[in-house]
Amino acid sequence: MEYIRKLNNNDFENFKKVFIVFEAEPFYEAWTEEEYIQEFLDFINNGQMYGIFLENDICGLITIKEKYLKWDELEIDVEKSIYLSDIAVRKNVRNRGYATRLMQYIISEFGENYDIYMRTNLENSMSEGIALKNNFERIENKVETVVFKRTRTDIPESDKRKYLIRRRNKYEDTEC
């Protein structure tokens, strides 16, 4: 049986089982155990995480923060916004619609009362395609440079990210 549930204090291993995908292609981000713990605790204390499970095995997760401004140059109503921070699916269960279902879950829970915005790779973004099919729009002329430690030395530490937004009450329902 497949289900989505909110992650809690006891879900660190589930969080890490999915979040480790950011160490591989196309991100190659380098994370220490302490950084995984800090990221997990940040979402426990300042955000929310939802996992999609098949039986009792986590397949993917989505993380959000309410009333949070990721980047000062964005012109959004912070009080009426949700920041979709991460959407990730374990490599061995990709292409089964898990990321789409997670995104649609967040839209159904928050999309009526909040704008939902996200940041994604400038190029080759897996999540952008899902977002566009679910009525997100690109925020024009807002490109941010981010820096991450990398697992490969041939990958630059900095890359560019673009922003997308789904406006509240603008759409009747999603296409996917």
pLDDT at 71: 74
Over residues 24-52, the mean pLDDT reads: 94
Over residues 4-15, the mean pLDDT reads: 98
pLDDT at 63: 97
- Say which range, 83-92, 101-110, 155-164, has the weakest mean pLDDT: 155-164
How many residues would you count in the chain?
176
Whether 176 is in a domain gets the answer no
Residue 174 has pLDDT above 50, yes or no: no
Whether 173 is in a domain gets the answer no
Whether 120 is in a domain gets the answer yes
Whether 171 is in a domain gets the answer no
pLDDT at 26: 81
Whether 175 is in a domain gets the answer no
Q: Output 81 or 176, whichever has higher pLDDT.
A: 81
Over residues 10-17, the mean pLDDT reads: 98
Angle between helices 98-110 and 126-133 (to 10 degrees): 50
Domain extent for 132: 2-166
pLDDT at 25: 84
Q: Give the model confidence (pLDDT) of 90-108 as tens digits.
A: 999 999 999 999 999 999 9
8 A C-beta contact, residue 65 and residue 46: yes
Residue with the two structure tokens 């649609």: 104
pLDDT at 27: 84
Over residues 149-160, the mean pLDDT reads: 90
pLDDT at 171: 57
Band (172; pLDDT cuts 50, 70, 90): low
Based on the structure, what is the number of domains in the chain? 1
Whether 33 is in a domain gets the answer yes
pLDDT at 176: 47
Band (74; pLDDT cuts 50, 70, 90): confident
- Of 3-17, 125-139, 154-168, the range with the highest mean pLDDT is 3-17
Whether 174 is in a domain gets the answer no
Whether 152 is in a domain gets the answer yes
- The pLDDT mean for the chain works out to 91
For the domain that residue 156 is a member of, what is the CATH number? Answer: 3.40.630.30
